[in-house]
Structure 1
Amino acid sequence: MWTEEQWAVIEPKNASSVVVAAPGSGKTTVMTEHLAHVIATGRMPAQRILAMTFTRQAAEHMRQKLRGHERLRTVDVESCAMGTFHGVFFRALLEADRQVYPVLGQREQYALMREAMVDVLGERHAASMYELQSYLTLYSRMIGRREQDELDNKSRRILESYVRKKRALNRWDHDDILLASLHLFQSRSASKIRLF
């Protein structure tokens, strides 16, 4: 049933596992079987397992597959910590008593970026969805970098305006969660952080 490559992921190891593969290749199924195998063989207590994905849908899909697994008890499945990278890190920030802000929705992000573009380019510039997404992608690539020499003056001013607008509203986007988490994990209190 399993390929040799899949079995190499499923069989318990003495280290963390990371699976990188194309969409639809069966990553969730293989990782779910890996988790079930680790728990069922007693290699790791369920409450010590953290599974992170990029989407809530994938995390819920994994949990549903575990719930239906014949080798696992309900208590084991519910003891596993599962979620998105952003969700897990946001919880870590809360548990570390760090200042957190409400996260902008996608429409709000686009609206703020549009306002930032108007600030720099003027009212007459009609920002397309492609331009908005391009600047948000550029922002994601640039956040956390100390040097932004590769940015042209216009782009730098647009991104700075976007950041000011977020701060004025006391709001975060998903990149801010990752950046704040990075700062938390690099701090002296990092050894006390409990992700799950």
Structure 2
Amino acid sequence: MRTTKILLSFLLVFGMWVAVVPVMVHACSCAQPPSIEDQLNRKTAIFTGKVLSLTKPAQREIQSSADPVEAQFEVKTVWKGEVGSQTAVYTALSSVSCGYEGFEVNKEYIVYAHGDPDRLETGLCEGTKTLTSAQDDLEALGTGYEPAKLAAKIMIPQEVPLKLSTMDTEPDRREGIQVVVPAISLSLIILLVLFIRRRCRS
């Protein structure tokens, strides 16, 4: 009987510890910043612009750090790509998935974007930054050109995984562990209590 009580106490402590201690998620790891020449060769679009709006994914019970955020830009100057005067750029919701979390409405940025021209993507490791901290980039890029006078497109946010080439993150399955492990531990504790009560009655 004493051994059973010790085992029960251990399971209770273990279950509480699992529920309280968070699962470690590794942050995005960026390589050495690429040169401006590399940026011009590799990126789909490079431009400066002001953020007009930010559209974040709808809140869900289990949120993925890779869910896309849409930043709508009023484009000022372009160095690469056929970018319209207003264009959307997507990034992951969290820096854990290499998302760029620095976008704010009415602030200006230099954006280095990759991907399909109709769905430009950027991230923490792409070189995107505020315009005030991009003086070296602007000098190296030189004179740009005006954005293309393209018909404005209505972009509907799509909750699809971003293909960020510089991602170095743990699988999203880690985010569900915090829910699953405590549930399993609680189930084991309940089964053990029922088993002990049944033995005591017999």
TM-score by length of 2: 0.21
| Greater per-residue strand proportion | 2
